[in-house]
A and B are shown apart, each in its own frame.
Chain A
Amino acid sequence: MGDLLVWLLFFFILIGLIGLVVFQLMCFADLEFDYINPYDSASRINKVVLPEFIIQGIFCFLCLVTGHWIMFLLSAPYLYYNVRLYTNRKHLVDVTEIFNLLSWEKKQRLFKLGYLILLLFISLFLLIWNALEDDDHDF
């Protein structure tokens, strides 16, 4: 039962991460179509960048402590990438160069999104698997 709860937690964390990445992508799209100015866009995006990194870190940590090695290994590259961005001080969007970097930033986040969706499906699958297994044990 505990395992099921952990999987549910993973599931919601992933949903949250996807939400944050989608939000950033939406800001970029709005910027591209001139619905918001670069200042607002950059500050909105930069507001959620660190939360995204931290949540992802927590996710990895949880995977590790609950002993879900597969999930941890799967999300480790993502964590490594984030850490590298952060240490290079490239994690925040630069408002002065935002238009020149737009395509790169979007691409980067699209990859993140794809990666997260993949993780989501895996965790969903494992969640259901677990739930069914629990059921099997009950009977």
Chain B
Amino acid sequence: MESTGAENPNRVNFSQRPVPPGMRPFTPSSPMVGSEPPVSNPLAHTIPQTFMPPLSSGPAASQAAPPGGMYPYTSMPPMSSVPYGNPRPAGTPFQRFPTPQFPPIAQASQASTLPTPTPSSFHPQPQAPFVSMGSPPQNINHAPSFANIPPPSSSPFSGPWTTSQPARPSFSGYPSKEPNMVAPTPPVQTTPFNQGGFIPNRPPVTSAPFPSYQGSHMGPPPIAASSGPYSRDQMHHQSYGPPSGTLQGLLEDFNSLTIGSVPGSLDPGLDTKSLPRPLDGDVEPKAFAEMYPMNCHSRYLRLSTNCLPTSQSLVSRWHLPLGAVVCPLAEAPVGEEVPIQNYVSTGIIRCRKCRTYVNPYVTFTDSGRKWRCNICALLNDVPGEYFAQLDASGRRIDLNERPELTKGSVEFVAPTEYMVRPPMPPVYFFLIDVSISAVQSGMLEVVAETIKSCLDNFPGSSRTQIGFITFDSTIHFYNMKSSLTQPQMLAVSDLDDIFVPLPDDLLVNLSESRAVLDAFLDSLPSMFQNNYNVESAFGPALKSAFMVMSRLGGKLLIFQSTLPSLGVGRLRLRGDDVRVYGTDKEHSLRISEDPFYKQMAADCTKYQIAINVYAMSDKYTDIASLGTLAKYTGGQVYYYPGFQSAIHKEKLKHELARDLTRETAWEAVMRIRCGKGVRFTSYHGNFMLRSTDLLALPAVDCDKAYAVQLSLEEALLTTQTVYFQIALLYTSSSGERRIRVHTAAAPVVSDLGEMYRQADTGAIVSIFCRLAIEKTLSYKLEEARNSVQQRIVKALKEYRSLYSVQHRLGGRMIYPESLRFLLIYGLALCKSIPLRGGYADAQLDERCAAGHTMMTSPVTSLLKILYPDLIRIDEYLVKSSPHEVNFNFSRLPLTADSLDSRGVYIYDDGCRFILWFGRMVSPDIAMNLLGDDFATDLSKVAIHERDNPMSKKLTKILEKLRGSDNSYYQLCHLVRQGEQPRESFLLLSNLVEDQVSGMNSYADWIMQIQRQLQ
């Protein structure tokens, strides 16, 4: 995508980030720490000479900055250490401690790209800028400011320039034509602003050449102008070889799209082929993980931008969400499991003040007797049992045996003070609708069969408890005491005054009552097979389930196939009224109608009950109300519209089995701590807030993610790095109380451009998505879509304003490389089922169910839902040998143009497959895959393996695709080209790049955004 010249500065950029690999920032335990001033002085004197200049461009610079200047902005650590008997005078800043560790790395990274600057006069310089100045980044780039450099500030630079680059022209010329030279310049540009008295600023390394460029030449039009805004396939301007290295250096900051019609042509002037598309799925920013190797993996925590803004004003100019997506129990591949540490005997090491858990970023001082909390900077005592000597470099000698000090993710076994009651056993309670529709659709049979097949695999082995209630117009309890041979059914028909008969025998131990359970599940379908009851006393049944479970908590699985019609919580067929759409009452359709559901959900969370709703009905079931139960109890909604066991059996079986057997964390609470000055303000997902920052999660598993937004509490952040710590306290299925701790660090920057460069589209889109779906609960769909669009426009406008001064942007739309997919995901979000169109574009239940799914999905699954994979498979089916399994998916753009009528395609959105047969597909393929069924109505045909190599290959492909994500079972729907309305309903309306039902195509969307940017 980018030329090498363009990449270079990037690397420089990262190599200069605060914590070089393997380093521990703020390591007061390094020799410097305890050393007397005489010892540290020589070091301090020499080190800056070797590595200060390069560092001065990143946050690390200020950590390593010489004493005087840094004081006002370092948080208390250096000072507060003094009273603790540290022999070193207060004047020795603690920022210098890492220095012994720095030079090798810093130099190494520099050596490749930079001439070693030897600025003897250099190091005093950066201090001042950091203290008193700073500026909005575009100011940095203003040419005029350069002219005003006062002599004192420019003189120091002659040193580095002349010594390191003798061949280079003098300072006044500034023609730093190579991106390589970027690094030494930052101090140069910071100086002018020194006088301006701005806020602290660490200018972006990459933007450094701009001023010089502007300052010396009078700004020849940037390439775009030369190669023309009309060149149609221009995507990244690096690609058309700017004449000199300077331009490359200049332009590597952003990508651009040229928009403007080609003279004489009718089309909008946008080459649709060259638009950025996320065909590789979710791409996580890698550089950040390399920068902070001790951070937890991005599968657990993804920040929307990996650089936090230093000031409120920057936050207000960032426009995109500032926050993170947290998935505390994400599935780790084999070999990367989170290590479990048992400190029950010694107690878990935590900060006295802020209760932070010990993590890789804490620093040990005082020969290992004290440790400094990285979040609040308090100096804590190391308990005797945990004490270890420090080696010469200040690292604990037992570091390698302490995963909590080397890894970002770790689990502690919690001692009894973390329990309010003995750890609960895993409890599964089933609330099953047995009314006529449940029986006739085959739901009851599939559910009973699946539960029975999973009985051996429930987590928690011998501790697991299980219970059942079925209901139609009455509520049936089942006594399954192990002493019985057959379960006893007790029917309660008084719905107004619920009572629970035999409260002790309804919830039984799985292994003890196994025989009774088997007998029960075998007989359950036949028991109700002649049930013609159409009523559903859902509310009373839920209440009685709650009464049974409230002693222990656990997971309540609700299988509902009709609208609740009796007792409390009965719902009306309020339906999907077309007249309501577009009015102020529209949102009320998407929220719970009856306060009963909210109240029940709140009560359930209080008693540690998580509710998973399985709704299957061909009619309206009011998912909006039922989903409320899942929303506030940390549960999940599964929706099977028009459930028919013949078609949906596999899907329900797989998803229910996964729900029952996946590793689950019980009675959990989650809290996210972060450094001073930053605060998490809002949380989005399925949970209930127990206090302002404590999420109550009765049951969590790997498929749940939570989005959080943060804000700055103070106008100005004084630290260079902000740390986050996610702590999830839970009971494992094995009955152990554990704390899972994820720790991450992120640098604080004062440069908006850097924030944009370090943005993580996946996390941003995920937060956008949750915000938009929440917005549909109180506003119109239209407004939710507009808010997404407006924020994207604002962000791009802000980004544009960063560069519009240096570049004649003309009609080009520019965006940072990191956000190249933001536009398409934004469009996909507006076209996603919860947000799309109006009345006719999606059914209300589907909208709500999809909304619930998207509110819980981790980033990767969410992005797949938004921009599904489209894969052509016919060539593979025909050509390759049957044993070849390495099938390369080449994903196609999601537009009808990608569909060739001679081909067979799979559309995979993570929840279902749609197998599309072109009109002119070879009869051979059709026959092999479908046999005689091909001629019939494809809606009733299920794909199954036939005895021919082609069909076997298809099965293999489907298996492989399913294997990539287990959270849902992708049911295969078949559709033939031109088979309306199924084709448009299943596939065509989901091709997000096309113009569907009055919504923009990708090109139109870009044009529209571009117009708003002007």
* Chains A and B belong together in one complex: yes
Give 1 or 0 for each of B646-690: 1 = CB within 8 Å of chain A CB: 000000000000000000000000000000000000100000111
Contact of A96 among B688, B691, B692, B694 (CB under 8 A): B688
Least Cβ–Cβ distance between B557 and chain A, in angstroms = 21
- Size category of the B interface is 10 to 19
The distance in angstroms between the C-alpha atoms of A89 and B591, with both chains bound, is 14
Q: Which residues of B, 583-609, contact A by the 8 Å Cβ criterion?
A: 595, 598-599, 601-602, 606
Residues of A close to B688: CB separation below 8 A: 96
Q: Which residues of A contact B (CB under 8 A)?
A: 31-32, 34, 37-39, 89, 94-96, 98-100, 102
The distance in angstroms between the C-alpha atoms of A96 and B688, with both chains bound, is 6
Least Cβ–Cβ distance between A119 and chain B, in angstroms = 32
B690 x A37 contact (CB < 8 A): yes
A contact patch SS = helix
Residues of B close to A34: CB separation below 8 A: 691-692, 694
Nearest opposing residue in chain A for B689, CB measure: A99
Contact of A100 among B599, B601, B602, B682 (CB under 8 A): B682
B598 x A37 contact (CB < 8 A): no
B606 x A39 contact (CB < 8 A): yes
A99 x B692 contact (CB < 8 A): yes
Known: A96-B632, A100-B682. A32 touches B692 (CB 8 A): yes
Give 1 or 0 for each of B844-869: 1 = CB within 8 Å of chain A CB: 00000000000000000000000000
Known: A39-B606, A100-B682. A94 touches B598 (CB 8 A): yes
Least Cβ–Cβ distance between A106 and chain B, in angstroms = 13
Residues of A close to B690: CB separation below 8 A: 37-38
B691 x A39 contact (CB < 8 A): no
The distance in angstroms between the C-alpha atoms of A31 and B691, with both chains bound, is 7
Could you give 29 example pairs across A and B, Cβ below 8 Å? A31-B691, A32-B692, A34-B691, A34-B692, A34-B694, A37-B690, A37-B691, A38-B689, A38-B690, A38-B691, A39-B602, A39-B606, A89-B595, A94-B598, A95-B598, A95-B599, A95-B602, A96-B598, A96-B601, A96-B602, A96-B632, A96-B688, A98-B689, A99-B689, A99-B691, A99-B692, A100-B682, A100-B689, A102-B692
Residues of B close to A102: CB separation below 8 A: 692
Nearest opposing residue in chain A for B691, CB measure: A34
Residues of A close to B598: CB separation below 8 A: 94-96
Least Cβ–Cβ distance between B613 and chain A, in angstroms = 16
Least Cβ–Cβ distance between B685 and chain A, in angstroms = 13
A-B interface, 7 closest residue pairs, ranked by CB to CB distance from nearest: A34-B691, A99-B689, A95-B602, A96-B632, A96-B602, A96-B598, A39-B606
Q: Which of A31, A32, A96 has the most CB of B within 10 A?
A: A96
Residues of B close to A31: CB separation below 8 A: 691
Residues of B close to A32: CB separation below 8 A: 692
Nearest opposing residue in chain B for A92, CB measure: B595
Residues of A close to B689: CB separation below 8 A: 38, 98-100
Nearest opposing residue in chain B for A35, CB measure: B691
Least Cβ–Cβ distance between A94 and chain B, in angstroms = 7
15 other A-B residue contacts (CB within 8 Å) besides A89-B595, A99-B692, A102-B692: A31-B691, A32-B692, A34-B691, A34-B692, A37-B690, A38-B689, A38-B691, A94-B598, A95-B602, A96-B598, A96-B632, A98-B689, A99-B689, A99-B691, A100-B689
The distance in angstroms between the C-alpha atoms of A100 and B709, with both chains bound, is 13
Residues of B close to A39: CB separation below 8 A: 602, 606
Residues of B close to A38: CB separation below 8 A: 689-691
Residues of B close to A95: CB separation below 8 A: 598-599, 602
The distance in angstroms between the C-alpha atoms of A61 and B137, with both chains bound, is 63
Give 1 or 0 for each of B684-709: 1 = CB within 8 Å of chain A CB: 00001111101000000000000000
Residues of B close to A99: CB separation below 8 A: 689, 691-692
Residues of A close to B606: CB separation below 8 A: 39
Least Cβ–Cβ distance between A63 and chain B, in angstroms = 33
The distance in angstroms between the C-alpha atoms of A37 and B691, with both chains bound, is 7
The distance in angstroms between the C-alpha atoms of A16 and B602, with both chains bound, is 31
Residues of A close to B632: CB separation below 8 A: 96
The distance in angstroms between the C-alpha atoms of A99 and B690, with both chains bound, is 9
Least Cβ–Cβ distance between A89 and chain B, in angstroms = 8
The distance in angstroms between the C-alpha atoms of A96 and B595, with both chains bound, is 11
Residues of A close to B601: CB separation below 8 A: 96
The distance in angstroms between the C-alpha atoms of A38 and B602, with both chains bound, is 10
Residues of B close to A100: CB separation below 8 A: 682, 689
The distance in angstroms between the C-alpha atoms of A100 and B771, with both chains bound, is 13
Residues of A close to B691: CB separation below 8 A: 31, 34, 37-38, 99
Residues of A close to B692: CB separation below 8 A: 32, 34, 99, 102
Residues of A close to B599: CB separation below 8 A: 95
Q: Which of B595, B602, B606, B682 has the most CB of A within 10 A?
A: B602
Nearest opposing residue in chain A for B606, CB measure: A39
Residues of B close to A94: CB separation below 8 A: 598
Residues of A close to B595: CB separation below 8 A: 89
The distance in angstroms between the C-alpha atoms of A100 and B774, with both chains bound, is 12
Q: Which of B682, B689, B690 has the most CB of A within 10 A?
A: B689
Nearest opposing residue in chain B for A42, CB measure: B602
Least Cβ–Cβ distance between B767 and chain A, in angstroms = 16
The distance in angstroms between the C-alpha atoms of A95 and B696, with both chains bound, is 13
Least Cβ–Cβ distance between A124 and chain B, in angstroms = 38
Residues of B close to A96: CB separation below 8 A: 598, 601-602, 632, 688
Give 1 or 0 for each of B268-297: 1 = CB within 8 Å of chain A CB: 000000000000000000000000000000
Nearest opposing residue in chain B for A36, CB measure: B691
Least Cβ–Cβ distance between A55 and chain B, in angstroms = 24
Nearest opposing residue in chain A for B597, CB measure: A96
Nearest opposing residue in chain A for B605, CB measure: A96
Least Cβ–Cβ distance between A87 and chain B, in angstroms = 15
Nearest opposing residue in chain A for B601, CB measure: A96
The distance in angstroms between the C-alpha atoms of A32 and B691, with both chains bound, is 7
The distance in angstroms between the C-alpha atoms of A63 and B691, with both chains bound, is 42
Q: Which residues of B, 789-828, contact A by the 8 Å Cβ criterion?
A: none
